[in-house]
Structure 1
């Protein structure tokens, strides 16, 4: 560091050196010899070299030669930091405990600044409520200049000039990764630049009143703490747990090229413009309090790509090792080059005390042999490897259960170091897990206000695995003491580093037992009390479900009636609804708007009309009633897109359900027989954000956006007032009412549309056919309801063929007697009487099979007409016969008594009269029949 400081001073003038020995700051030295900056700030200086005497020039040249000689000696003997690629770095709170006495205090003082640029490189190990990078305070104002990160809100915060200027950028500071950041402010031109990841964001700012802004000089600059008062007011939760390197503060705004050069490490600090504050000489310029000052390689922060290699120091089979890496968020490592092989070997040699199997190999690689293709493949992807490092001669793969072990022991021959060996997968070796990124393990099951961290990452600590919390907690393994029995394997301890009494632990079941997955922890002194808590520590990501053993499956596989977790835990606790203790299923859902009732949408599907009982004036139908409503008091879990899978039927506790009362005509009671009822949940919305207070991940849905669906299959017998005047050409209108029972329409209202009624059965029945069905408002008093209207038409074809046609034929037969010889009275009267008798029999049969009414029906009128026609035929035949008999009697008397010719004419007249009457009947009967049929048809056709 001293050599590097000397190299920086070589770029200065002799006056700089003299000023440095007299107590001047780097900024003062820079201002004297940087006229460009002086001109920019309007603070031009007089060139002192022009006023110097020849003697002073000789002194300066002598100083030049002396410094050059000293620098050359230092470089030859010690080597420069630039050649080694190391820069000074400060590690704050390496043990992870949040403290307020860990800081780096600048011993110099800052001048008043009208522009400032602050650049630094930071590697955050753990986060705090406020991660304070630097805090500059003057006696009048503690927040004269402040830069910090808020990990929770993912923002970079800037405060300046007594909180007059407050800025915040959306910015995520990752854990355990090097990040280069610059913040530059020009108070005169009113603009700010922000550099992160090589991207520059610039914008102007305005201050109310447009005051003159500057960073006032003479204050105190502190790194790693936030000054709430000048030189104090430190709070442990506003500290820094990180490594800070290459800090630079300039008294002007760096241009874009300079900022980008700092970000991509293309600028050499030794040749760059001198900052007024830097880490070039930390021990001289700063006072360190409880921090570690060291060096960091420039390659570390200039190459932010990273990968962690975790070695678990316990023997496991290949299957167990694969599972452990998986639930840790990584996979078994497979080196892809000799460079990676040697890097891995350099890590494994330090585990000789933990992983010494007594054979050539002690570690597992993620490689398996394929018997079919005789190739070595990646154990996850199944792809053939392009790089292998087998030491032994390639042997055929004869068994399917062959894996690869890694020779990580440096006690073997040099040609075997880092070598690969084929071994049985059933042997036990130490797993080498590769994590391509910082995997944050989530702790689920802690109460809302718990003092423990909810996220952890894995680290190696002296050969052992440690779970380091994102903020303040840590999980460490404590081995048993030597005097314990062989069944004591120690315990895992979860504790707050800054509050040692807040702790939780669980005992190991075996030497290789890790707190991954679900375990019971004994918690002490947490804000939620002392208790035994079931906690799951999982590496599962969003939209994944954590099995009890730590395995991750897709969250959509949770409660899908298929076993996906190795321990079947994805199908445990699959209740779709858990009612709160305060829930009362007798009370309806609360109204969202006090002026609007809760809507219950109804849909009625009529499967069949089983029977139309005209005689008893009722009909029976099979219906399915579906009701849908929302209950904002409820929350559902694990909802599937298929509503049928979200069944709530059979739960011991049921939510509120609407109850319907079925009514017939004029609100008469109906007989209802329930076949079955189902209650399910219909999903409409996306789930709520995950709640890590619950052990297992669950998709939780609000009842306000996802409905309850009740489906009832019913057999309903409903009274209907049939009007049979036009029977059997009648059309009937039957109604069935559904009324909400027990709750007035001020609270519950039935919602329907024209599509809320559907008939899916056969419309043609034995006697009637369903013409149409409609639904309408059916409120009864102060109760909401709907009314279903069924329009039926009689299937009269049966009566036409079975009644009308036969009776009409009988009429025709009776009419045909008028074409018999007039003198054939016996044949004519027999046909007429037989037809009349048959017609009367038909009438009796029809009358017994149709409803009895006090009024005449069309079929009754038809039968009466048929009887009257036949009666008219019989009467006509008798009258005709009587007429003919009088004519014959008159003729007989005339012959016997030899009467006058007048009597003979009278007999002839009577005979002719009978013939005319017979002809009239031939004409009269069909005419009357046609007239009757016309009128009858018109009446029957009227709706």
Structure 2
């Protein structure tokens, strides 16, 4: 309630002051140049009558462009004391005789006093209270006393619980700059100020020409007043007396710069010159540290409101910008950075690629603020991305309807290409402005897309494929804007499992309604991959099938089963991409199967009366008949043996009447001879000494096959690899 009452009284006082000001100014007044120049060049100590802790006092003096003062002579010490003695009781806080901080300490070496800022020793010391500093290591800070110790020095503990008034010293008075919307070209307020004389207990500020800034204790406000015309503004501190450095909300009390009476405008007052940024508390930092993702201001205000782009109120993001070149279409510079090819599916005639697409253009309608050389700091926020125009590109031959987008992961950044100009004083915050005529915008996004490609497999696997990635600018026709090929780059592995990546080319597609670009990628098939996965396995299968020609000629089952198994394995392993080599491999094994069959059956007629099939049925009947006789006579099962003559002998061993076995003589009557016959046998049990005597297998055809198949294989390989190399 008390706060509201005070504000109402201040408002009434402000209105009365405005009425008096209108009658006071009768002529144009300019401040003499000599007064300004003389004030700026002399050494000065100003006492700011606001109690602050030591750290705040050191910071405050830096904000106003000076350092915490230490008088260098007895005369200076006396002047400081006389200028502040009237407020000494307030400055002390009624806790003793200490009332002014002085800018020295003896923390490093006891009783060796050094400046806080430069750490150089003092060249002069004033009269001390008592016998001198006596606080030891507990009291390392320096203060000025009043009362019974007028102007004396004393040491004191450097505690935040102590608050005293602050004297700041200046070798040259710093120039202070006023910025904000009330400082247009026709503004009645000055832009530059110097510290002036004391006014109502606080140092005032004098403009270079016709403006003053001073404290009015009656109204409880700081007043910005032109002595040229009746124009002024006020700022009411929220808590006690506070010097108007930094950024504050001033109430405009006159019509000026398009602002109505009562408008609240943010005005900034600081000693920060060109290339510097003013924190809200008045601290100066380099403008390059503004919005660099690192906090540099004590109040963190350097990372507030980090907008990089100035969008006019009448800007329409559905209308493309005009070209910066006269009578030419808008150029959209196209850059593609291919990262990888996760999949190249020859059988599906597709390939998958991951790439970054960059589109760069200029928009003269926009201005950019405080661009950095580090481009990662020039990325536009998500809100601003939606407010500006961006090009739209269609991926023509990709699977699905794929367009460029501003989805998650996309970025739009300002590219610093031209020089900047310093923002005018009507900007509350210091800015470097970059024009959209000279600086570009760049949109980037990462895509993973499946493309179609017409693979030419006539020379597989010695082929080299050229696949295209087509892009079409659909924001407007080619007469309004064009895609300009800039760079096509591949940063991934050049050697994939099946292919090697060759060079990339990029060209503009002619005679298109919309501007289009084709990026051509060359895939060269790797021979080593197919040596391991195709040529060596198929060659081994052909060798296995060929080896059956050296099996026992009497063992037809083994020969034909191994050959057929090789053919089946070859067919099952390679069901896709049937080329000349694979077809040749299948034909070779098929020929082995056919030759094995012809060699075995070409020597005999199978179905005639004396043929092999008839003999087989005859032997089966005879075997069954003998088996029935054995059951009646109690003889053992026949056992076969092979004599050196090659005849097949059946040995029947009868049982003794007393049940004991008795060996038979080799030339006994119980041996009987059968006609030589060829039964189905396996392994080496019936291997002949001389295969040429075998009348059941066409050994001539077998020998011919052993020779002709390697000859065919060698001739084919000579032609095949010769054509591949050429």
Q: TM-score, normalised by structure 1?
A: 0.58
Distance in 2 (alpha carbons) for counterparts of 1:323 and 1:815: 96
* Other-structure match for 1:475: 213
Shift of residue 406, structure 1, vs aligned partner = 2.8
Cα distance in structure 1, aligned partners of 2:166 and 2:698: 128
The whole-number CA distance in structure 2 between the counterparts of 1:321 and 1:556 is 27
640, 645, 653: which is aligned to 2:372?
A: 640
Please tell me whether the aligned partners of residues 606 and 761 of structure 1 are also in contact (alpha carbons under 8 angstroms): no
> Which residue in 2 is equivalent to 1:692?
425
Alignment partner of 1:783 out of 509, 514, 523: 514
SS in 2 for 1:422: strand
Q: Is the 8 A contact 2:66 2:170 kept in 1?
A: yes
Q: Is the 8 A contact 2:488 2:519 kept in 1?
A: no
Task: Give the superposition deviation at 1:355.
Answer: 3.3
CA distance in 2, matches of 1:308, 1:595: 62
The equivalent position to 1:504 in structure 2, one of 214, 233, 254, is 233
Local SS of the residue matching 2:603: helix
From 762, 766, 770, the equivalent of 2:501 is 770
CA shift, 1:718, in A, is 0.9
Counterpart pick for 2:197 among 452, 460, 466 = 460
Residue 721 of structure 1 aligns to a residue whose secondary structure is coil
Deviations 1:514-571 (CA, angstroms, capped at 9, x unpaired):
2222222222234323222221211223222212222222222221222222222211
507 and 708 in structure 1: CA distance in 2 versus 1, 3 angstrom threshold: same
Distance in 2 of aligned mates of 1:751 and 1:460: 64
Task: Return the match for 2:34 from 124, 131, 152.
Answer: 124
| 1:800-829 Cα deviation digits (max 9, x unpaired) | 445544544454455456667xxx7543x5
Question: Which has the larger displacement, 522-531 or 436-445?
Answer: 522-531
- Separation in 2 of the partners of 1:771 and 1:748? 31
- 1:343/1:377 Cα in 2 relative to 1: closer, same or farther (>3 Å)? closer
Matched, 1:515 2:251: no
Tell me the equivalent position of 1:545: 277
Q: 1:935 aligns with which of 703, 719, 724?
A: 719
Partner Cα distance (1:784, 1:395) in 2:
84
Aligned twin of 2:78: 345
Three-state SS of the structure 1 residue aligned to 2:409 is strand
- The correspondence for 1:495, drawn from 214, 220, 225, is 225
Distance in structure 1 (CA, Å) of the matches to 2:365 and 2:28: 46
Runs of 5+ in structure 2 lacking a partner? 1-23, 612-691
Name 1:894's counterpart in structure 2. none
Counterpart CA distance in 1 for 2:445 and 2:211 is 55
Q: Distance in 2 between matches of 1:424 and 1:797?
A: 82
Return the alpha-carbon distance in structure 1 between the equivalents of residues 431 and 143 of structure 2.
40
Contact 2:63 2:284 in 1 (8 A): yes
Cα deviation, 1:140-176, whole Å, max 9, x if unaligned, reads xxxxxxxxxxxxxxxxxxxxxxxxxxxxxxxxxx464
Paired residue for 2:596?
874
* Alpha-carbon separation, structure 2, partners of 1:464 and 1:677: 54
RMSD, aligned CA: 3.8
Q: What SS does the aligned partner of 1:354 have? A: helix
Q: CA deviation at 1:97?
A: 8.2
**Cα distance in structure 2, aligned partners of 1:494 and 1:801:** 87
Summarize the Cα distance change of 1:612–1:314 in structure 2 as closer, same or farther, 3 Å threshold.
Answer: closer
Q: Which residue of 1 aligns with 2:169?
A: 434
SS in 1 for 2:188: coil
| Cα pair distance change 1:761/1:624, threshold 3 Å | farther
User: 2:708 is matched with which residue?
Assistant: 924
Q: 1:509 to 1:925 in 2, by over 3 A?
A: closer
Whole-angstrom distance in 1 between the partners of 2:136 and 2:706:
113
1:792 matched to 2:523: yes
SS of alignment partner, residue 354 of structure 2 = strand
Q: Is the 8 A contact 1:505 1:521 kept in 2?
A: yes
Where do residues 155-554 of structure 1 align in structure 2 (5 Å cutoff)? 174=37, 176=39, 306-336=42-72, 340-346=73-79, 348-356=81-89, 360=97, 362-370=99-107, 373-392=110-129, 393-398=131-136, 402-407=140-145, 418-424=151-157, 426-445=161-180, 446-448=182-184, 449-461=186-198, 464-480=202-218, 490-499=220-229, 501-528=230-257, 529-530=260-261, 531-554=263-286
Q: SS of the residue aligned with 2:413?
A: strand
2-side partners of 1:777 and 1:471: how far apart? Answer: 62
CA spacing shift, 1:685–1:424, aligned 2, 3 Å: farther
SS of the residue 2:335 aligns to? strand
Report the CA distance between 1:716 and its aligned residue: 0.3
Q: Which residue of 1 aligns with 2:352?
A: 620
Gapped runs of 5+ residues in structure 1?
1-95, 104-121, 127-173, 178-304, 481-488, 890-907
Q: Does residue 601 in structure 1 map to residue 312 in structure 2?
A: no
Residue aligning to 2:583 = 861
Alignment partner, residue 416 of structure 2: 683
Separation of aligned partners in 2, 1:503 and 1:923: 115
Distance 1:452 1:660, change over 3 A: same
Q: Residue 366 of structure 1 aligns to a residue in which SS?
A: strand
Cα distance in 1 between the residues matched to 2:401 and 2:33: 78
Q: Quick check: 2:369–2:433 contact (8 Å CA) kept in 1?
A: yes
Answer yes or no: is the 8 Å Cα contact 1:725–1:858 preserved in 2.
Answer: no
Report the alpha carbon displacement of residue 366 of structure 1 after superposing the two structures with TM. Answer: 1.4
- In 2, the alpha carbon distance for the partners of 1:802 and 1:353 equals 100
Query: Using a 3 Å threshold, how does the CA distance of structure 1 residues 175 and 739 change in structure 2: closer, same or farther?
Result: farther
Where does residue 26 of structure 1 map in the other structure?
A: none
Which residue in 1 is equivalent to 2:647? none
Which stretch shows the higher mean deviation, 611-620 or 790-799? 790-799
Contact 1:453 1:469 in 2 (8 A): yes
Give CA-to-partner distance per residue, 1:328-383, whole Å, 9 cap, x none: 222222223xxx32134135325433334586554332123316655322122233
- Residue 374 to residue 826, structure 1, CA distance change in 2 (3 Å): farther
Residues 670 and 717 in structure 1, CA contact (< 8 A), matched pair in contact too: no
- Aligned partners of 1:801, 1:789: CA distance in 2, in Å? 29
Quote the offset at 1:508 in angstroms. Answer: 4.2
**Closer/same/farther in 2, CA of residues 360 and 843 from structure 1, 3 Å limit:** closer
Is contact 2:29-2:227 (8 Å) kept? no
Flag the 1:512–1:401 CA change in 2: closer, same or farther, 3 A: farther
Find the counterpart in structure 2 of residue 233 from structure 1: none
Is 1:570 the counterpart of 2:480 in the alignment?
Answer: no
Q: Distance in 2 between matches of 1:731 and 1:474?
A: 81
> After the TM superposition, which of the residue ranges 441-450 and 837-846 deviates more from structure 2?
837-846
* 3-state SS, counterpart of residue 651 of structure 1: helix
- CA contact 1:317–1:427 (8 Å) conserved in 2: yes
Distance across 2 between alignment mates of 1:379 and 1:747? 65
1:787 is displaced (CA, Å) by 1.6
State the aligned residue count: 604
Whole-Å Cα distance in 1 between the matches of residues 70 and 428 of structure 2?
34
1:581 CA drift (Å): 1.6
Instruction: Sort the Cα spacing of 1:421 and 1:941 in 2 relative to 1 into closer, same or farther, 3 A.
Output: same
Query: 1:170-216 deviations in whole A, cap 9, x for unaligned?
Result: xxxx4646xxxxxxxxxxxxxxxxxxxxxxxxxxxxxxxxxxxxxxx
Q: How big is each residue's C-alpha offset from its partner over 1:607-666, in whole Å with a ceiling of 9 and x where there is no partner?
A: 2222222332212122222223332222222433322232224225332222221133xx
Residue 72 (structure 1) aligns with: none
Question: 1:749 aligns to what?
Answer: 482
Does 1:654 find its partner at 2:387? yes
SS of the aligned residue for 1:125 comes to helix
